[in-house]
Structure 1
């Protein structure tokens, strides 16, 4: 776009020296010189890349210098190649008018923006008809470039063809828009450029903008439709280089500017905005160049594997509470955010320029809609605008009022006013933050009934949000370096608020039926919105963000205008916002002690309602696919049990009554086979009846009865379990030590993940084990061949037909990039979470063999597993086991607990995994 002056260009490549060397080789060796010439060119290319790599190492943020340097290197090579081919291979002393050839750089190369391994996009331009000489020169040049290992994207067209195709095809039109003369017949290039502007671009500005924006929107959708995804695509992602290029393309097409700096002259950017444009572009180009150098290929995805390395290369350092990689990525997202702000202002100006130049005809030719006034603001064409340049300086509270009115009146904000708001955001000081009217307006916006998510995002991108709520400013663009969270903290928070608004409007009833009802039952809806805003406000401070966030809530809520009771509730919700999901996903919900402990911390139905709502939006706002019916089912079971306990002060039924009631429910489900509830059901103790859901018990009884009638020593049944969004696997076998870990191993070898397991033994010594499984993407198995494969794999594991450990160790990690993270295994024992069992929670890197390995370790330590609950958080897995010793007692001895802990830590360690992989 705007090239930088490259110092000491000959240190990159000395074209005259290289040309002389090639000429000498060609004259000395004649037709045999090709290998030596290619070698000389390759040496020059490699030396240039090494020099540019050295410069990037010295100035790791110099993106423009690196990108322009690589374009310069290729320019010089192309010129040397052209001169060599036309002088030594296909000389033509008296060329005809058809024997003319111009070489143009297009695409990123045309902008003089090339990362180390970018494609060389080149166009050969000929007169109206192509001569044989032109074809020979083009072919020879391409073969030489391919010999150098360059990835060349090329076209060869006459001026007429190029003009016609540009009119028909947006991609070709964009390529010609960026065309830059490299070498050859410059008059031919000038003719093509003149015809492009006269015959292609003239009068098609609106169409070009419309098509370019549609292309951009489709690209954003492919890339996740957020500039805050934690593994962004530097080139194609939202807020990336392609978005900046799109602005330049549009500006150049409409105003025929030659460089991005001229966008200031035509009024599309202010000087400050242009400087922001260049800073963002420089940084993004530098990141892309580092990516190419690290990988040795054209790689544009800033995945977890590379984030640490680039943070180190760009000299980011650790700070208290925030690692170097998190600081690097926060800076990355701040640049992406700036790109978004610039895009909004730029496109709105384009819109306005079109509106001013549009001609009306007919009856309405002289009609112009009059702007209206809303609280002093001008509203016209669906946009709200400040009436003057000093509007916010006169009363900085208006910086909050602007966004509140936009949400309440469902208006867009005029680009000039957004520009003013961003410029004047620094006027927000403590006097504004403590202003009751400003806080009341902010609370109205936060709990707005139209679209608070969109307007809060505008407010955030203008810098107003971070100034008004400095604690929110601290998490602005802050990433969470793990594979569980898909977005930065601020984006996650704003999405959670948007989900809450959609739930309140009834738009998500199908996915969140419970939350959609509860939001209308809570005493204070604004508590729900403030809790959503503050639940992650203290991330990145180096301590427990829930505890620290509760302290922030106690300070902020009174400022916002919440009552003392509302403040206390918000602070509690922030402190306990992980309680419901941790209990539902990592504890046995059929154990009365689980519910008792949960209710002890919740203490009230109003708290429970709010916690259920906040938990739902928090999980769903993590990213696509994180919320599923299995999680909804578990949270619903916990809510119902806790609500019953809170309302009655005790569980509605005693143990005996509960078992009797469930027997009757199962009998009803069995219909004409109701007698199985007594005849087969008598073989199971009360613990089984309490632990399992009625529909699973009904399936188990039918399965068990059939297996015993047929005298099967092993019976396996798999079926899709729609209500849980998973597949139910039931294994019936004679109980014996090690059964659980072998079944788990067989399931994992079939490519399935276990998300829940319940292990039972009948009074006659038969094991009835129920597993809920999903595929690695969190989806159930449904197809007959999939279910058959799982059954066969379990049979092989139990019959010792396969060596489990080495086979499991060879399976790839569920997340192949998880090795980019440090996950130290951790073991927690809890003898208070259950009256009957010791609860063991193991945190470790997620891998296919983990559950099998942990279960085997428990078996080797003489423990009996009664239920297992498996939760994955990206690269980290949390496996919870309810265990006893062989006598049915809890594990209490310190020495024994220490031995079990060490064994589990070893089982969950990366070192053991590495040894098994080597074996």
Structure 2
């Protein structure tokens, strides 16, 4: 290929800078000359990248530029020719990105003289002063071999070594001394390197779809390609992957697909180095938008530029991982054949089990009978002892995937096979993941292909849409497996008695299938599900249920997290919505599976208890095992009083305390909560009577209890009502590192507050530390005595990624259908002291808070507040609503 005029000009410039006469002439100003060279090189690479120059040529050009610099510097410094300067690692492969490490091996034949040491130190120092990140090792041949025996990293560095300058014979001696028969044979090298890979995968939770992947070391990243190259070279020394095409170790289409994906990730990495201006391989939120823009992506109506870039990255990582898995499995099988005869168990005329993997006997089967592309996954799903599919069979599947076309999808038999796959009560997700990884799922279900690699640019969704969907299905399969009964007993009981599990599995498969299209993905997904069911002739009753579940898969979570489910009216209305026990059961397990598959931190004991309590209460209502509000109030009050009397509490004191309480208080709280609160209040009041210097108005009662039924710890505060009370309490709790999940604010007729907060500690757990509980009590009592002078600001370290998300504050008001007050819904970016700021806004606008439900979704909060005017009337006046809205925005923007 002919060089462009600009490349010729740049090469001429670079050569002129490093010309020996020029270096000699400016030896007293050597560093500025070297810096000039690096600057010209960097500017050229950056300019050419922006012009979309082929990434392969840029990566190799960077390596050649550094070669030229090092060789010129080596000769200029007149370093002894008995020493060899060798490029190793990525630099040895000739692959350098703008800020890649320059890994060097300085190989000496004998001990270095002081003069030689000084010259080498000078060279390395000059390179560092040029802002090049240099990794160097100075060793003799014997040291190299000895260290390589112990350290795999050194071995792979030597395998990829490339001679630059000095003693070439010494370099050749190193090559000869590190061949497989002398150092790390194929078997031991394979075992060590795959063990290394497993440890690396574990670091990233074995997913290629993390929202901030490491383009080099995440599963499906560049390191996987390196790994295959290293192991293949050890097996077939000294051949490269390309040379192994002729030996059918890697097929030509696999090789070029792998190269195509590698080149894309190179492009992402090159952009990442430019925008971060350092050797950064983590595709952090800090750089994603800038990298996407540099690569030429643009925002459109339904997707952001960054989402497009990441979608292609994830798809490339998926392909790399799949091909590398196949190649590793081939190598593993070759080793197994050498060590022992394979264990073969016949299944039928088409399939057998080879070393616990299903194997297609005739690899042309899928071409002759494409329906087997679906049938093979039935065998995997029905046999949990299988480890997977043999590499040769996976290859045969990949080679026949083109058969999955419109004609294939329209055939009755294939439709039946696809639905029957989901009719299996999967107790393992292996078959599902294999169907996805092989590409068969996306080929058959075209809408699924659209969400493959689809990311959402936020901190709430930890995975791409397709990966999240598979994790949801995995959760459902765990519910079906009796071994997991202890973790989610209700979900397990429901799942294990399903006669038609395809209903819930298909609902899970379709629940997010319309993400990324714009519009309501639940509604659009329901349409997709309905059309699928019609085409596949799924019984009308089952089809309606799948469609309903997809269309309403977010509703149970919304009710649980944003409504007061202790209110019988909420349960009644939710029960009327779900209508049947079957709908309720399936919606419950779908909701649990969905939330647990969304992110690492979203699921906690509080959400578990909310959904469980909503499910149980709704079950009772549907089975007519629920009583009227009046009956509940009467029974709770009577049973609580009996329990308190049995504990030695004076009944007159109980009645006096309860007299200012509304009947609704007893309906909304459990008997145990009423007993616990009443007891600690009366005990504190009794102690206060002995303190003649203390006014009743000064009393602050604080109780803390862990309640597994609620999945959190309840902090209860009883005190005389005063302005800024909610703001002061939330600020106090936040400062102590507590995460507030819900708040119930109630003031009795005599002006005393019964304020309750459900909290978790900084690890999302129930409070267990007695010292922390004591500190909480002391802090609340101290601050309640000085609210007017209290500083409400909260210093809290927020995740660094938050600043990269712009979330406008939205405040909406609704007439609350349950409590007769006003429901205010807030969407805002999470920030320190958010609840305290909202509490202050309520105080300034004379707004009374009754209940709060706190929902944090990554960087965003979606909180619900039940509010009223001071006289408990709903806030109907639009001007007052606008005052509240403006004050909240003002407080949050301080």
Q: For this structure pair, what is the TM-score category when the shorter chain's length is used for normalisation? A: over 0.9
- TM-score, structure 1 as length reference: 0.90
Equivalent residue, structure 2, for 1:376: 350
| Higher deviation after alignment, 711-720 or 622-631 | 711-720
Is 1:37–2:30 an aligned residue pair? yes
Is 1:713–2:690 an aligned residue pair? no
CA distance in 1, matches of 2:363, 2:557: 49
- Say whether the 8 Å CA contact 1:591–1:691 is kept in structure 2: yes
Partner SS for 1:757: strand
Equivalent residue, structure 2, for 1:419: 395
* Superposed CA RMSD: 2.8
Partner SS for 2:855: strand
CA distance in 1, matches of 2:12, 2:756: 69
- Say whether the 8 Å CA contact 1:443–1:560 is kept in structure 2: yes
Partner SS for 2:714: strand
Partner SS for 1:197: coil
Equivalent residue, structure 2, for 1:862: 846
Equivalent residue, structure 1, for 2:692: none
Is 1:137–2:130 an aligned residue pair? no
Report matched runs for 1:443-842 at 5 Å. 443-449=419-425, 453-522=429-498, 524-648=500-624, 651-661=626-636, 663-665=638-640, 667-668=642-643, 672-673=647-648, 675=650, 678=655, 680-711=657-688, 712-718=698-704, 720-791=706-777, 793-794=779-780, 798=784, 799-800=786-787, 804=791, 807-808=793-794, 811-813=796-798, 815-842=799-826
Query: How big is the shift at 1:666?
Result: 7.1
CA distance in 1, matches of 2:132, 2:294: 26
Q: CA offsets per residue over residues 557-598 of structure 1, 9 Å max, x none?
A: 244453110111111111111111100011111223322221
- Say whether the 8 Å CA contact 1:15–1:80 is kept in structure 2: no
From the superposition, tell whether residues 381 and 901 of structure 1 become closer, same or farther in structure 2 (CA, over 3 Å).
same
Partner SS for 1:72: helix
From the superposition, tell whether residues 564 and 450 of structure 1 become closer, same or farther in structure 2 (CA, over 3 Å).
closer
Equivalent residue, structure 1, for 2:83: 101
- Say whether the 8 Å CA contact 2:344–2:352 is kept in structure 1: no
- Say whether the 8 Å CA contact 1:445–1:452 is kept in structure 2: no
- Say whether the 8 Å CA contact 1:12–1:51 is kept in structure 2: no
From the superposition, tell whether residues 743 and 25 of structure 1 become closer, same or farther in structure 2 (CA, over 3 Å).
same
Q: CA offsets per residue over residues 74-132 of structure 1, 9 Å max, x none?
A: 22222122112226xxxx6xxxxxx7111112222222222222222211111154444
Is 1:881–2:855 an aligned residue pair? no
Partner SS for 1:8: helix
Report matched runs for 1:253-272 at 5 Å. 253-257=234-238, 259-272=240-253
CA distance in 1, matches of 2:782, 2:791: 10
Q: CA offsets per residue over residues 243-270 of structure 1, 9 Å max, x none?
A: 1111111112222245442242342211
From the superposition, tell whether residues 15 and 54 of structure 1 become closer, same or farther in structure 2 (CA, over 3 Å).
closer
CA distance in 2, matches of 1:865, 1:370: 70
Partner SS for 1:830: strand
Query: How big is the shift at 1:222?
Result: 0.8
- Where structure 1 has 5 or more consecutive residues not aligned to the other structure, the ranges are 93-98, 361-366
Equivalent residue, structure 1, for 2:106: 124
- Say whether the 8 Å CA contact 1:167–1:173 is kept in structure 2: yes
Aligned counterpart for 2:131 among listed residues 124, 141, 149 = 149
Query: How big is the shift at 1:485?
Result: 1.0
CA distance in 1, matches of 2:67, 2:475: 51
Partner SS for 1:481: coil
Aligned counterpart for 2:78 among listed residues 58, 82, 86 = 86
CA distance in 2, matches of 1:137, 1:254: 40
Equivalent residue, structure 2, for 1:208: 189
Query: How big is the shift at 1:292?
Result: 1.5
Query: How big is the shift at 1:778?
Result: 2.6
| Higher deviation after alignment, 456-465 or 337-346 | 456-465
Aligned counterpart for 1:337 among listed residues 298, 318, 336 = 318
- Say whether the 8 Å CA contact 2:18–2:69 is kept in structure 1: no
CA distance in 2, matches of 1:419, 1:198: 28
Partner SS for 1:183: strand
CA distance in 1, matches of 2:640, 2:56: 71
Aligned counterpart for 2:66 among listed residues 54, 74, 93 = 74
- Say whether the 8 Å CA contact 1:745–1:797 is kept in structure 2: no
From the superposition, tell whether residues 315 and 692 of structure 1 become closer, same or farther in structure 2 (CA, over 3 Å).
same
- Where structure 2 has 5 or more consecutive residues not aligned to the other structure, the ranges are 689-697
Partner SS for 1:318: coil
- Say whether the 8 Å CA contact 1:13–1:73 is kept in structure 2: no
Q: CA offsets per residue over residues 495-531 of structure 1, 9 Å max, x none?
A: 1111111111133333322211222345532211111
Report matched runs for 1:835-850 at 5 Å. 835-850=819-834
CA distance in 1, matches of 2:188, 2:230: 13
CA distance in 1, matches of 2:344, 2:631: 76
From the superposition, tell whether residues 395 and 103 of structure 1 become closer, same or farther in structure 2 (CA, over 3 Å).
same
- TM-score, structure 2 as length reference: 0.92
Equivalent residue, structure 2, for 1:296: 277
Aligned counterpart for 2:174 among listed residues 192, 213, 224 = 192
| Higher deviation after alignment, 486-495 or 764-773 | 764-773
CA distance in 2, matches of 1:657, 1:386: 64
CA distance in 2, matches of 1:216, 1:168: 18
| Higher deviation after alignment, 447-456 or 49-58 | 447-456
Is 1:406–2:380 an aligned residue pair? yes
* Matched positions, count: 878
- Say whether the 8 Å CA contact 2:724–2:787 is kept in structure 1: no
- Say whether the 8 Å CA contact 2:636–2:666 is kept in structure 1: no
Aligned counterpart for 2:163 among listed residues 168, 181, 205 = 181
Equivalent residue, structure 1, for 2:367: 393
- Say whether the 8 Å CA contact 1:605–1:643 is kept in structure 2: yes
Partner SS for 1:156: strand
| Higher deviation after alignment, 237-246 or 767-776 | 767-776
- Say whether the 8 Å CA contact 1:858–1:864 is kept in structure 2: yes
CA distance in 2, matches of 1:787, 1:373: 62
Query: How big is the shift at 1:435?
Result: 2.8
- Say whether the 8 Å CA contact 1:522–1:609 is kept in structure 2: no
- Say whether the 8 Å CA contact 2:424–2:502 is kept in structure 1: no
Q: CA offsets per residue over residues 131-160 of structure 1, 9 Å max, x none?
A: 444433322222222222332222111111
From the superposition, tell whether residues 236 and 796 of structure 1 become closer, same or farther in structure 2 (CA, over 3 Å).
farther
